[in-house]
Amino acid sequence: MPDEYQYLVIGRGIMGAAAAMHLAAASDGVAALGPTEAMAIADPVVPKASHHDAGRNAHSLDEDPVWSELGARSVARYRNLEQETGVRFFDEIGYVRIHHDGAVVERSADNAERFSGRRPEVMSGDEANERFPFFHLEQRETVGFQSRDAGRINPRAYVAAMTAKAATLGAEMIDDHATEMAVTGDGVRISTASGRSLKASRVIVATGAYATFDKLLPVLVPLHVRGRTIVMVRVDDAALTALEGMPSVGCHPGGARVRTYWHPPVEYPDGRTYLKIGGGPEGPERIASLVELNRWLRSTGDPAMADAYRAELQRMMPGLDQTDSITAACVTSETHSLRPYAQAIHGGKVVILTGGNGHGAKAADALGEIGASLALGAPWPSQAGPDLFALPEAAR
């Protein structure tokens, strides 16, 4: 006989942990199914989650009001979650947005003010150089600076905090991963890699990029899964002192230059401190299969992109010593609308929750709340209507 639950979340990453937390706050009989990071490291077949990292930007300085709202609502809950669980994951160091088009920064500041209640500063590149002496920006660039309710989260710790709260509220954590799912007349049945059989009245599938490849869902989830590269530059004590006060950064310089994001130095699990840069062009590169996805996530990324990021760091932070650096791979899951997919199908028995579009980590709490509301049949919790989160008509 299968183990039975009222609600089951498949995926224990950023969105899945948030969904389990919100479900457990509203109901008994909740479980979350997904492998640990240790399992993913040991077995190349096990899905590797996107939160296996130490830094993600957190802010509401977005041109898209949907992401601005989701970010603001999530960031506003960070401190309470830290206090409730004792897990610290948020550094309120501020966030800088650098853009070649000043109108984009002004719109982003408007959205941040609307949803967070405070308007970020908007300044020229020269003014930003005065404020942040470790940067070397151009006068033509416009800079938005959100000093409050913004900065950096540690995604590993964020997931740990949400998981801890969900468990405290009664949710069961299952260290395994789903291999098959079938919608039946009385619920949803799931088979796992270890041979377990599970049954739930309703299921949330929050498997990130894997949602388009693992064949669990009864519909096609049209995600454009892009391989991304990150560079991590090791910094010593002298550099730490020189970079004191550095915020998190998003930079879209335009022209032939590559779009980037940066994080100030932070300690990683290897005990070393790194400044991280990533990003990517708007090119058509796509990961097309589960085998490709797993292989990419265990690679060191694209050397050409790594060189482009190093060149950006040299241009914009010329005082940074890049002698000691490493590269790694990650992915982004992009939807047709560049907004998340959050939709109930099969009469509400299955909820699809995926498509971070490079913004999912900071907004996880709000996204998990949306997924849980769909599973619970509760009122829609976002100012942005559900039609903005729907799958394209052809995929339903």
Same domain membership, residue 254 and residue 316: yes
Same domain membership, residue 294 and residue 274: yes
Inside any domain, residue 256: yes
331 contacts: CB under 8 Å, gap ≥ 6: 50, 209, 225, 226, 227, 228, 287, 293, 296, 297
Q: Dihedral (C-alpha) 162, 165, 90, 370: value to the nearest 10 degrees? A: 50
- Closest Cα partner for 122 from 92, 99, 145? 145
Asked if 108 contacts 62 with a C-beta cutoff of 8 angstroms, the reply is yes
- What pLDDT is stored for residue 42 in this prediction? 73
CATH number, domain containing residue 179? 3.50.50.60
Residue segments in the chain with a per-residue pLDDT below the cut of 50: none
Same domain membership, residue 389 and residue 244: no
Same domain membership, residue 16 and residue 130: no
Strands (E), 195-245: 197-205, 224-234
Inside any domain, residue 177: yes
Same domain membership, residue 330 and residue 255: yes
Inside any domain, residue 62: no
26 contacts: CB under 8 Å, gap ≥ 6: 372, 376, 378
Which residue type sits at 257?
R
**Angle, CA 321 vertex, CA 315 and CA 324 arms, to 5°:** 120
Same domain membership, residue 270 and residue 304: yes
- What pLDDT is stored for residue 255 in this prediction? 87
Inside any domain, residue 44: yes
CATH number, domain containing residue 105? 3.30.9.10
Alpha carbon 108 to chain centroid, angstroms: 19
- What pLDDT is stored for residue 92 in this prediction? 98
Q: Dihedral (C-alpha) 356, 358, 360, 361: value to the nearest 10 degrees? A: 150
Which of 318, 334, 350 represents a domain boundary (last residue)? 334
Same domain membership, residue 288 and residue 208: no
Which of 310, 334, 358 represents a domain boundary (last residue)? 334
- What pLDDT is stored for residue 2 in this prediction? 81
Same domain membership, residue 141 and residue 21: no
User: For the stretch 167-182, what's the b/e string if a residue is b when 16 or more beta carbons lie within 10 angstroms of its beta carbon?
Assistant: bebebbbbebbbeebe
> 196: left (phi > 0), else alpha (psi -120 to 50), else beta?
beta
- Closest Cα partner for 70 from 383, 363, 386? 363
Same domain membership, residue 202 and residue 171: yes
Alpha helices in the chain (DSSP H): 14-26, 37-42, 65-85, 102-116, 125-131, 155-168, 237-242, 290-297, 303-316, 364-376
Cα of first residue to Cα of last residue in the chain, in angstroms, is 31
Helix (H, G, I), strand (E, B), or coil: what is residue 354?
strand
Inside any domain, residue 57: no
Helix (H, G, I), strand (E, B), or coil: what is residue 287?
coil
Inside any domain, residue 76: no
Same domain membership, residue 385 and residue 239: no
What is the extent of the structural domain holding 286?
Answer: 92-149+224-334
Same domain membership, residue 117 and residue 138: yes
Which of 334, 356, 384 represents a domain boundary (last residue)? 334
* d(C-alpha 15, C-alpha 192), whole Å: 20
* d(C-alpha 87, C-alpha 191), whole Å: 32
Same domain membership, residue 253 and residue 374: no
Q: Give the predicted TM-score (pTM) of the model.
A: 0.95
Q: Which two tokens stand for residue 255?
A: 């022209």
Domain count, the chain: 2
CA-to-CA separations, 240 to 163, 262, 312, in angstroms, rounded: 32, 15, 20
* d(C-alpha 12, C-alpha 163), whole Å: 8
- What pLDDT is stored for residue 52 in this prediction? 84
Inside any domain, residue 71: no
